[in-house]
Structure 1
Amino acid sequence: MDLIASFRRTLRYSLGRQLPNLHNDRRLRRLKDIHKGRRAFVIGNGPSLKVPDLDRLTNDIAFASNKIYLAFDRTPWRPTYLTCSDSVVAQTVGPNMAALPITKIFGHSTFPYFKRHADITYCNSPSRRTDPKDWDLIKGVSTGHSVLYWDLELAFWMGIREIYAIGVDFSFEVASKATGAKAMGNDVLAAGREVNHFHPDYRKPGELWTMPQLNKQRDEFAFALEKYRSHGGVIYNASRETKLDAWPRVDFESLFK
């Protein structure tokens, strides 16, 4: 049984790498510098994210991910882009995300769960010869250890050099049980009753998720800041509450004066 499960995982990953490349690459090329000169918000789904704050972003480019749709019954706001880089999330709530009338850009590992949905653009998987520091969506990019890092790569490709992050608490309560499985190198957990997100029912007991590796995330976020700065850009942490110290802080309210 273990051999069969391993084969299936390998097959799913291989399918994710062999995307309908020509059509998909055309979509990626059309995104190059599409928002050059604009600022953008990348949205974490932490407890500090306030739905009224989303209403303030109506005129801004916004990247949001995973179960951000749980806020939609309380706000007319919608993100410019919906992202997902985690195959476990895709397997769990894929149909909910696929049904949303929002421009979707997903990681290569999610392809097996969405391959019937032609409106999704995928980022290519990096090859062994790909430099992960290039951030070239055509050659392939790493999704890192956080969808937020991946959002920064997307924004950079689109020509955005001014980034504000909100809802990035960078703190997790873990009352989950280990399943013994792994996804993308991370331990897969079965959720307990911990609350790590803006919505109390964001993750129900027993739902699978991957253990966040905060040290690796912080290193990636620090590199992202260097990448933006080397191209005249900035990344600010505008979260109302946060333990992330990789980016300079800025007051959220000051961004709308």
Structure 2
Amino acid sequence: MKMRLKIKKLKNAEKGKRVFILGNGPSILKHDLSKLKNEICIGMNASTLLEEKYGFTQKYYTVSDARFLNHPEKRAMATTMLSPDTIRVLRSDLDLNDDSAIVANKNTYYVNPLSRDGFSYNLNNGYHYGCTTTMLALQLAHYLGASEIVILGVDLNYYGETARFYSESNAQLEDSKIGVQIFNIADAANKLAACSIRTFICNQSSFLAPYLRCEDFDGLFCS
């Protein structure tokens, strides 16, 4: 019960604001991410590596993949490398492997996974995982009250020479759930649109391009 009451504190915390979701695809490096310094960012997985290089801090950070707490090289990205001020939102069954010292900072929230397909309008009840952490980030953005959601680096192309923007000494296997991911993200964008929340990408080469509107990243910062 305490966990759910705590999650409620996030409801409409960013009401009416623009939110950027930071994926791990290589296209994210094509953008000047230093422009995110004064923006609200929801990171995921290895996006922590981008903060020092581009001089911004993720206000929120999501993980639903157990490998980012179990993998010796990746664990730090989800724990000690994050700013103490970053609000972590994790899949609830990851709590046993989480860093107790980080959790003690009281900036960590755990969310219960529901079914694979779908969209939860109330994060307090849980979230639909859609085989991608992007779905947790999207449902979090809605729960925060975002009026516009910009998705960066969610390429969903795992078959090229570089599937992610960072190098891995022991690369993960190719993702076999691309169809499930595309279906759920596109469905989420449609549901968000019905709530008058604009959701779009900034990479025309993303496998999401046929389903989501694409806009120029630099153009987002023109007054």
Structure-1 residue corresponding to 2:121: 135
Segment drifting more, 144-153 vs 44-53: 44-53
Per the normalisation by structure 2, the TM-score is: 0.85
Q: Which residue of 2 aligns with 1:79?
A: 58
Decide whether the 8 Å contact of 1:94 with 1:113 is kept in 2: no
Q: Whole-Å Cα distance in 2 between the matches of residues 222 and 66 of structure 1? A: 21
For residue 154 of structure 1, what is the aligned residue in structure 2?
140
Alignment of 1:1-257 (within 5 A): 21-22=1-2, 24-50=3-29, 53-92=32-71, 93-99=74-80, 100-101=82-83, 102-114=86-98, 116=100, 117-118=103-104, 119=106, 120-126=108-114, 132-173=118-159, 194-199=161-166, 201=167, 203-205=168-170, 207-208=171-172, 211-239=175-203, 241-244=205-208, 245-257=210-222
Structure 1 portions without partners, runs of 5+: 1-20, 175-193
Task: Give the AA of the match of 1:214.
Answer: I
| TM-score where L is the length of structure 1 | 0.74
Helix, strand or coil for the counterpart of 1:142?
Answer: coil
CA RMSD of aligned residues (A): 2.2
Flag structure 2 segments of 5+ consecutive residues without an equivalent: none
Change (3 A) 1:140 1:97: same
Decide which structure has the larger Cα Rg and report it.
1
CA shift for structure 1 position 208: 4.7
Sequence identity, in percent? 24
Paired with 1:94 and 1:214, the residues of 2 have a C-alpha distance of 24
Does 233-242 or 151-160 show the bigger shift?
A: 233-242
Mapped contact 2:45–2:77 kept (Cα < 8 A): no
Offset from partner CA, 1:68-96 (integer Å, 9 cap, x none): 22223422211111110111222112344
Question: Alpha-carbon deviations, 1:202-243, whole Å to 9, x = none?
Answer: x222x5557241111111011111211111111111136423
Shift of 1:52: 5.8
